[in-house]
Structure 1
Amino acid sequence: MKKTLLIASIIVFGITLNSCSKDSDDSGQYAYKVRMTDAPGPYDEVNIDLQAVEVIGSNGQTITLNTTAGIYNLLDLSNGISTIIATSDLGDVKASQIRLLLGTNNTLKLNGISYPLATPSADQTGLKINVTQTLNENVENNILIDFDANTSIVETGVGTYKLKPVLRTIVATTTGSIQGTITSVGSKATVTATSASNVVYSSTVNAAGQFQISGLPAGNYTFTATPKLPALPVTQVNVTVSVGVTTNIGVINL
């Protein structure tokens, strides 16, 4: 009888331990959204053919997100405008890499003329962006991809262009931004924000003279607007950026 009770106790203990082990391995579900934005560029349109978005978790597993595939004009997404390109519920608490998979229908429009935008096959199979993002349960985890159209276009000949993507990620909950307007809209000025540790963040000004530099860690920055010669740069020092806040520095006369 005692032997029977001992065996039964061992079986019950084993079942309980296994159940607890499974519970402790559950990683939960983390709501995840990927948004895309852009800095302005001196083109009419920069169109990318987005096919899929993937996330690589901390264990190396690849998850294909629910992607809104299609043609995106990056210049529609400048100066703080963004759009959701993918969503999903992830089972991993960390995201270590994001991949954008492009098709072949990428184009550039300049002065009303559309040109094919050559894309290396390696880029079509996945534009890789390394991230270090820890996700939280019961909240909406967001990440913003800044696809810099201006620096991503390489002119390879007369009327021939190649896409050499320049991307970075922005976690809105840990960064801020600087925005404003310049008066000389025809100057095609560039704008930069330089941190106290000499890290430079840049953007360009759109046709309306508006600009926004996003993804800035909190701190004080030296802001510079640089027009084409012979106009001279204008600098503002000690521009304060706070997390989750867009600092508007107003109208700048160039």
Structure 2
Amino acid sequence: MKITRLLPFIGAAVLGLAGCSKDTDSSETSKLEVRLMDAPGDFRSVVLDVRQIEVHLKDENDPDGWKTLGFKPQTINVLEYVNGRSALLVSEDFAPGDLKEIRLILGPDSYVVGTDGQRYDLKTPSGQTSGVKLKLDKATLRQRSTFQLLLDFDVAKSIVERGNWRPGNDKKERYLLKPIIRVVAQDLAAGIRGTVAPAAALPQVLAIRATILGPDTVSTSADASGAYQLNGLAAGTYRVEFFPSAPAPTGQTAYHSETRAGVVVTNDNVTTIPTVNLQ
């Protein structure tokens, strides 16, 4: 299986899928996802200014063990991600091995909007400098699988009102941000499989899931019998696209592309798509 954002044989109809994932042999790599969800609090909005995400790969006190992940700095309203919804922050190929810690570097632009409709800046005592560090227990990335770190942000416990604040004081000084985040680490063992005909079309298969980062695309090629399987997928709803990479023999009907929308994938299960005919 290969992970990619754009394949060279795909025409202009799918150019919008272009991105920056690597095209590597997934038998030697894993995939790492970092997602954020929220336990609700008594605010209209809670916006975090996330500048950088890192993971630690070595012993706890080794300063050289940090690796920066492919995350685009952004502000995230965590209250949009409740009741099972989560924001995908990172999705990238990663070498198998153990992760010791994850660290979020926060910028100065975090804020809340209270029930009074007023915006209050959030002061972060340590997150703006050394970062918010979260220890990981038994976080091991394995070959040909997706490993997900789900960061469960507790709004009610993380946002603390200053004891000396009174109405009429400078509203920027009302709240402190002291992040309380629970980390849920899990292997993702879901997949999609099926058969594409005719096998002579050398079919390519793309499974595309919409995320906050844009389309997340996993691809593979059918084997000599037309069978394919995509492993290590996150749960969600996918659009699966099938493309011939070889022309039909002279005198035969030309091969064409096909799409199957609304393919639901659940954790630890492999979803089977009925045979897809490209001719």
1:152 aligns with 2:141: no
1:67 paired with 2:81, answer: no
Task: Name the larger-Rg structure.
Answer: 1
TM-score where L is the length of structure 1: 0.55
Unaligned runs of 5+ in 2: 1-27, 189-266, 269-279
Match of 1:101 in 2: 105
Change beyond 3 A, Cα 1:162–1:65: same
In structure 1, what is the Cα distance between the partners aligned to 2:178 and 2:128?
8
The DSSP-based 3-state class of the residue aligned with 1:150 is helix
Q: Give the 3 Å change call, closer, same or farther, for CA 38–44 of structure 1 in structure 2.
A: same
Q: Which residue of 2 aligns with 1:120?
A: 125
**AA of the residue aligned to 1:75:** L
Q: Distance in 2 between matches of 1:113 and 1:155?
A: 14
Contact 2:146 2:187 in 1 (8 A): no
Aligned-pair CA distance for 1:98:
0.2
Indicate conservation of the 8 Å contact 2:36/2:153, yes or no. yes
**What is the aligned partner in structure 1 of residue 212 from structure 2?**
none
The answer for the alignment partner of 2:185 in structure 1 is 171
Identical counterparts, % of pairs? 31
Aligned to 2:236: none
C-alpha deviations, 1:117-176, integer Å up to 9, x for none? 1111455431000002011111111110011111100000234100011011012459xx
2:175 is aligned with 1:141: no
Does the CA-based 8 Å contact 1:57-1:92 persist in structure 2? Answer: no
Alignment CA distance shift 1:149-1:124 (3 Å): farther
Q: C-alpha distance in 2, partners of 1:173/1:62?
A: 22
Which residue is equivalent to 1:162? 176
Counterparts of 2:56 and 2:186 in 1: how far apart (Å)? 20
SS of equivalent to 2:85:
coil
SS in 2 for 1:75: helix
- Tell me how far apart the structure 2 counterparts of residues 56 and 155 of structure 1 sit (CA, whole Å): 32
8 Å Cα contact 2:30/2:143 also seen in 1: yes
In 1: Cα distance, 2:119 partner to 2:142 partner: 43
CA separation of 1:45 and 1:99: change in aligned 2, threshold 3 A: same
Q: TM-score, normalised by structure 2?
A: 0.50
Higher helix proportion (structure 1 or 2):
1
